[in-house]
Structures are given as structure tokens and as C-alpha cells.
Structure 1
Amino acid sequence: MNVVSYRPSPDELSYTFGGRAPVGKVRPGTIIELYTEDCFGGRVQSVDDLPSQVCEFPYLNPVTGPFHVEGAEPGDTLALHFVSITPARDWAMSSTFPLFGALTGTHTTATLQPALEERVWRYDLDLARNVAIYQARNSDFSVELPLDPMHGTVGVAPAANEARMTITPDAHGGNMDTPELRAGVTLYLGVNVEGGLFAIGDGHGRQGEGEVCGTAIEAAMNTVVAVELIKGVATPWPRLEDDRHLMSTGSARPLEDAYRISQHDLVTWSASLTGLDELDAYQLISQAGQAPVGNVCDTNYTMVAKVAKSYLNSAEVYEGAHARLRELATQYRSTR
């Protein structure tokens, strides 16, 4: 078993997908232990630290990487299996922004009412009890929320030598912000450039579907990911697999188009897996599918289309990569 550990210094963090040299090369079958900083770069530590004052645009939403996967070429698919995602600190932060989020005017939704107040919330994380403690800012109201760690931002370098800000989700991945991207899940990303150049960041202690205010419980993470390469198999949009479900993503504006992309990919994927014609697959997904929301506040919005594998006769995808990576994860845990 090949295990690589990597903890970036602040000046080694990346803020784009593409346009950056790899921080290292790994072989397929490698397990990577890595540290990711929160979306504020660790600069917001108290309720008095307003992001507009302590953070510098565009140095927000840093990712760890990119990593070059040996043998990866355009037309291949990277499989990233999230073995574990663990908060690296006993606190996490969230905030509202004046012109960012689903329930405020933005630069693309111009309105005349005053912008939202910039306000910060600090969450104490009790890792032993697996909870995050919400505390209202203007009252004594408090409640414990179960931790459900995930990564909001994972992606590869885009095609055509593009460099995209990490905050933007698209076909290369990016800031999809889906709570489905938790430990035990395998993410499939289409390779656009030699080596794939994948990077990971934007850890969330938990997040409601849609990330409505624009931020989750933003946390630094210690994450373990297993890497595999599927040669000669293309993936048009990021896809996810857990033990029970297959999922397709779509990112665009307006939200309806993000929904359509994700549903189209799941319908056509299901047809290819089962031998159904597209209208029969369309009918099946229409009745058996789910549609969890990723984000409704980024430069593109993200939707997920999800179906139980049992409805597809438990069809195997990507040459059984998820099962193999689960076994690799089990072997890794047995040595720790």
C-alpha cells in the first residue's frame, strides 16, 4: 500500500483549477492523507473577524493540490474515494455576506434594497460527541447539530488550458457544495489534461442542501482519499457513487439548467447501464430518482440527480472501482 501525506503551507494553497503546476505526482492505487484549510483560509476565527476585513479577494476558498496522477490522459476518469473527512480543529465558522447568498441581491440580481449585514457565527465542534453547537448571535438560543463532514470543492483542471476560480462549479467539478460528497463516497471526474491535476478543499462540518446563506459550517479538514484511474472511460460531468446510490451532477445558471444537466446525465447513464432505451430510462428515473440540491449561491448553481442502484439491477459502474477502493480503505484503516 502506497500512502502519501501532504500538508500545504499557506503559500502552497491554490485558488484555481488549472493554471498551476502540480504539488506532487501519485500513482493509481495511492492513498493520500492531506490537510485542507477552510474557505476563509483560517483567517476568520471569531465573530469579530469580518471576512471583508481579514480576507483578500480572490484568495478565498483555497484547495490543496493539484496532484498529478501518473498515466491519466484526456478521455480517462479519475476515481477519488473519500476514506475519511475529519475536522482538524474544535471550531468552525460561518457568515453572511452583503451581496452573496440565495436570499439577497447580488451583482447579477440587482435590487435597490440595502445589502445584507455581514455577520459571523462561530461553531464549537465536539468531535467526541460528533456535534456542532449553533449559537444565535442576537439571543441565547442554542442547538446541537450532528456533524456530517463533507468537501464542498473537488475538481480537476478544465479542458483547453483554462484556469477557473475554485468558487465556480462546472464540468470539471469545482465548488459543487453537495452534502453527498462525504466519507464513503467515490467521486468520478473526467480527465481533461495530462495527469488530471485534482485538488480538494472547502471542508464543511455540515451543510444544509443549497448552502442557502452562501457558507456552511466552514472547517479545516484532515482528509484521506484513495485514488484510482479508469483508462479509456470518459465522464461528462462529475458523478458520485456510494454503497446504495449512483449520482450525477450538473452546474449552470439558471438552476433549471443545472437540474436538467444532472437529470440528463443520470437518464443517459442509466440507459447505458441497463440496456433500456432513453425514454424507458427517462420514465424509470422520473419515478425512482431524487434531486438533492448542491448550491444555489455560487457563480454556477449545482444540482444532483440520485437513484438507488437496486433499481438498476445493481449495475456495476467504472469497472467496480467503488468496491475496490472500499476494500483499499478497509486495508488502510486496519494499519492505523
Structure 2
Amino acid sequence: MSSDEVFELRPAAGELRYVFGGGEPLLRVPPGSVIELSTEDCFGGKVRSVADLPSRVCEFPYLNPVTGPIHVEGAEPGDLLAVHFAAIRPARDWAVSATFPHFGALTTTHATAMLHEPLEERVWMYAVDAAAGVVRYSARASDHTVELPLDPMHGTVGVAPAAGEVTMSITPGAHGGNMDTPELRAGTTVYLPVNVPGAQLAIGDGHCRQGEGEVCGTAVEAAMDTTIVVDVVKGAGTGWPRLESDDFLMSTGSVRPLEDAFRVSQHDLVTWTAQLTGLEQLDALQLVSQAGLAPVGNVVDTNYTMLAKLPRVVLGGAQAYDGIHTRLREIGRTHV
């Protein structure tokens, strides 16, 4: 099933959500739909200069807003929601990053208690030059500057969790959420397990770029204009979100500690590889062990995220979900 209509979702500030689960959808679409949507940055657009410390201009815990929910007709528990990112474009010519007390991989946090002082709260502003394809880093304590490649992605994409749970948008898990992986860029399809009727998709947390791990706790945070294509794979629900690009299959795991997130993602990729190729489980384990990669998503959120990544060329031409990634990619290309 597909729709020729292009849907739009550009929520006002009061319509942004800060959770996955609960609430009425802002948009209802049929499978196969193209959706153009806007998202705000993780600070809700309130941090606009180095003087705008988030603790002063933002209202906690209302951080990391998402656009949605989007109800996809026909999606039922046990299905898989396929979301292809056709385009992700910065909506402004500036972006922002920050360090926070008690947040990040290299400071004391509520879950990693230390006696030392927390990191200073500090803001960095980035100039975004979309035409040149760069963002410009400027040090705060010196005149050092450097241009970094623009690599837009979404840190947060997910559906309503299972069992009626309502989860803060900052938390990644089996529903997706704040996975913060740079792999979620344009050209990637993410597969999300459907837990409630309509799936209730929401997207936010645009990043102009992000290093693996998001070590300081924030990326180059930006508002985005994004085009997606959504579809439903009936009866194909998975335990964890999966990703597919033209060159790789990827499995995710979002738990603590980090080694268990690694194990979850690797276990899912081995299982997926065996299903796609018909390999016996230990043969699939051997193949993933020798050909796989393990990029880090985040090591800062309430759960940590790891990915397991396998080149498609080692799969002998096997296609995930009957080639839906290729089909959605072609639909998306006609709308960007």
C-alpha cells in the first residue's frame, strides 16, 4: 500500500513532545507515505549564544523535544515499522553544543558518583555552512578554529514502548529513542518494533554532526527539516531497532552497562545474519566476528547504545525484508 500524497508535520512549540508513548497523534498517514517534518534542537531553540547556559534558559526536564507522534495506519503489535530518512537538512545557519554538570562520559553523574567537582557548564556555537558542507568549530579558550564535515543525522527516533509505558525522550531502549548514533543519517532505513496500534513514531534531536560516543554529552545540536518515507512490514517485529544503509546492516542495543549493550547488538546481528543467509548460528557468529564493526552510539544517556555493523557484500545477495530499504530509498529520491 502506498500514498501519492506528501504529508507535512511542522509542530508549534506547544505541540512538541518530550516522551515516547501516550498522547494523541499529531498526524495519521497510510503506509508508503512521504512525510516532510521539522524538528527543534535538544534545547528547544532556546540556547542561541555562549551566554545562554541551558540551566538558565531551559526548563528542566523539558529537553530533547520530538516531533510526533505519527500514527501509521495498519501498524499493529508484532509488526515492524520501516522509516527511511530521505533527507536531513539544517534549518538554521547556526548550531550549538554544551557541557553540563553531572552529564557526559567524563564527569561525575547521578549513576557514577564521584567526589570531584562536576564539569563546568559551557556553550559552544557553531556556524553552519550548508552550501560548503561544513560546520565551523571555535574554541572558547583560544583562537583555534577548524571546519568539520557537515553530516546531519537524528539522535532520537522511536515508537511508543510496549506495555503502555511512557518513556522520556532522552532514554534509548527497545523502542528506539535517544540512540544518538551517527549512522542515522540520510540514506538510512531504521526498523522499529511496533508495540501499539499505529506505532506512534516520533523524531527529534537533530545533529549537524556527532562523534561516536557523544562523549561530552551533546553533539552539534540543530533544528532540522527532514523528509522520511514510512512503511509497515507485517509480522516481522524484532526485539531491538535495526538499521540498513546501501552498504551495511546494523543492529542496536541500548542498556547499561556498555558491555551488555555490545552483547545485545552483536547477538541481534548474529541472529539476523543467520536468518538472512540460512547459516547455522555458529557459522553466522564466525562471519560477524571476522567481518563486523562495532560503532558506539552514546556513552552518556540513561542507557548506552552500541551498534553491530556488517557489510552487505558478505551476505551473498540476501535482502532484508524483501528489499524494502531499496524500495523506500527510491520513493524518497523522487521527493528530495
Matched, 1:32 2:32: no
Q: Deviations over 1:34-91 (max 9, x none)?
A: 0000000000000000000111111100000000000000000110000000000000
Q: In 2, distance between residues paired with 1:317 and 1:174?
A: 22
**Separation in structure 2 between the aligned mates of residue 234 and residue 77 of structure 1, nearest angstrom:** 5
1:203 aligns with 2:206: yes
CA contact (8 A) 2:210 2:220 kept: yes
What SS does the aligned partner of 1:216 have?
Answer: coil
> d(CA) in 2 for partners of 1:73 and 1:159?
12
Aligned with 2:82 (options 79, 82, 95): 79
**Once superposed, which parts of structure 1, at least 4 consecutive aligned residues long, lie more than 3 Å away?**
none
Mapping of 1:199-238 within 5 angstroms? Answer: 199-238=202-241
User: For the residues of structure 1 that align with 2:156 and 2:332, how far apart are their CA atoms?
Assistant: 21
Cα distance in 2 for residues equivalent to 1:186 and 1:98: 35
**1:175-215 Cα distance to aligned partner (Å, 9 max, x none):** 00000000000000010000000000000000000000000
The alpha-carbon deviation at position 274 of structure 1 amounts to 0.8
Most deviating of 143-152 and 322-331:
322-331
What CA distance in whole angstroms lies between the structure 2 residues aligned with 1:174 and 1:318? 22
Partner of 2:335, secondary structure, is: helix
The structure 2 residue matched to 1:140, chosen from 132, 143, 154, is 143
Q: 1:64 and 2:67 equivalent?
A: yes
Residue of structure 1 in register with 2:23 after alignment: 20
Equivalent position of 1:125 in the other structure = 128
Q: Is the 8 A contact 2:129 2:135 kept in 1?
A: yes
1:320 deviation in Å? 1.2
| Separation in 2, partners of 1:150, 1:330 | 17
Contact 2:33–2:230, Cα closer than 8 Å, also in 1: yes
Q: Deviations over 1:276-331 (max 9, x none)?
A: 11111111100000000000000000000000111111211112110110111122
Judge conservation of contact 1:2–1:29 (CA < 8 Å) in 2: no
Q: Which runs of 5+ in 1 are unaligned?
A: none
Q: 1:292 is matched with which residue?
A: 295
The percentage of counterpart residues that share the same residue type is 68
Q: Match of 1:95?
A: 98
Q: Pick from 175, 178, 183: which aligns with 1:180? A: 183
Q: Over aligned residues, Cα RMSD in angstroms? A: 0.6
Task: Tell me, in whole angstroms, the C-alpha distance in 1 between the residues paired with 2:239 and 2:335.
Answer: 30
Extract unaligned runs of 5+ from structure 2. Answer: none
Are 2:157 and 1:151 aligned?
no
For the residue of structure 1 that corresponds to 2:49, the secondary structure is coil
Q: Does the 8 Å CA contact 1:67/1:197 hold for their aligned counterparts? A: yes
**Contact between 2:253 and 2:261, CA under 8 Å: does it hold in 1?**
yes
2:286 — aligned with what?
Answer: 283
- Partner secondary structure for residue 127 of structure 2: strand
Contact 1:156–1:197 under 8 Å retained in 2: yes
The letter of the residue matching 2:189 is T
Q: Within 1, Cα distance between the matches of 2:115 and 2:121?
A: 17
Count of matched residue positions in the alignment of Structure 1 and Structure 2:
333
